[in-house]
Chains A and B, each alone.
Chain A
């Protein structure tokens, strides 16, 4: 089975995953939507990669939503009425991290998860990728989750690396 077929077969699970994650982090009911697109205007996205060392492939997990939703999310997570740009990136980055971890548990058990990279852009046009996108609405706004094979993981970083140095630090 190709990766695309695998993602397609998991579509319902991905929809359920997105709804569960949104329902939890927003403490609001999230509903599946199929045709609704992201609104025009600034978009906040989070992307991370899952690296399969066996075949050296990268599965990309991307979460995208409007800056309006990102602002509400940051406000609720950080308990602040006026979240700044970094707060929006932190909140959507963590949303992507939760989604990515759950996608990994669903599709790529023994692989390595990158750290999330959150960005704000003015372009709501979805990237032209060969993968599966599921959408849900929360607070009347759309949130997208896309899973696809990635050729480009530029900008992503990986967890860990300083353990040896710290282990050698005298107690």
Chain B
């Protein structure tokens, strides 16, 4: 399984990958992107199986990334990992086609609860 992790912070990308492992969801190919635009290009070129994306990033936000992917016909499972976890943002994420939103700071349990159904 190919998992794309998009976040403009290298430290946060590493924490996301580590937390996946701690949640028992490790052992997959991880591809990293530093912003939404790079994530879009990777997702389109490499047929990733899951996208874990920050919301606020340079070049292209996470919600713009999700909408761009859906507009291009991609139905890849998409989950936000972001510092903003308000009901309004969760609703916005859901309406755009995200499977969930994990708010920072997070626990490995949060990863397991939301991602286990799609991470084999």
Would A90 and B58 count as touching, CB distance under 8 A? no
Task: Point out the residue from B11, B60, B86, B103 that lies within 8 Å of A166, measured CB to CB.
Answer: B60
CA distance A98 to B32 in the complex (A): 20
What is the interface size of chain B, counting residues whose CB is below 8 A from a CB of the partner?
A: 38
Number of A-B contacts (CB under 8 A): 105
Q: Chain B residues near A146 (CB, 8 Å)?
A: none
Would A78 and B40 count as touching, CB distance under 8 A? no
Would B56 and A115 count as touching, CB distance under 8 A? yes
Within 8 A of B (CB), among A119-171: 157, 159-163, 166-167, 169, 171
Q: Quick check: is B49 within 8 A (CB to CB) of the other chain? A: no
Q: Quick check: is A97 within 8 A (CB to CB) of the other chain? A: yes
The main secondary structure of chain A at its interface with chain B is: helix
Which of A3-11, A31-39, A51-59, A105-113 lies at the binding interface? A105-113
Q: Chain A residues near B86 (CB, 8 Å)?
A: 104-105, 109
8 nearest A-B residue pairs (beta carbon): A101-B83, A24-B105, A163-B64, A77-B11, A160-B61, A159-B56, A101-B84, A94-B9
**14 A/B residue pairs, CB under 8 Å, sorted by A:** A77-B14, A77-B15, A91-B11, A98-B105, A102-B84, A105-B84, A109-B86, A113-B56, A159-B55, A159-B61, A160-B60, A161-B60, A163-B67, A171-B72
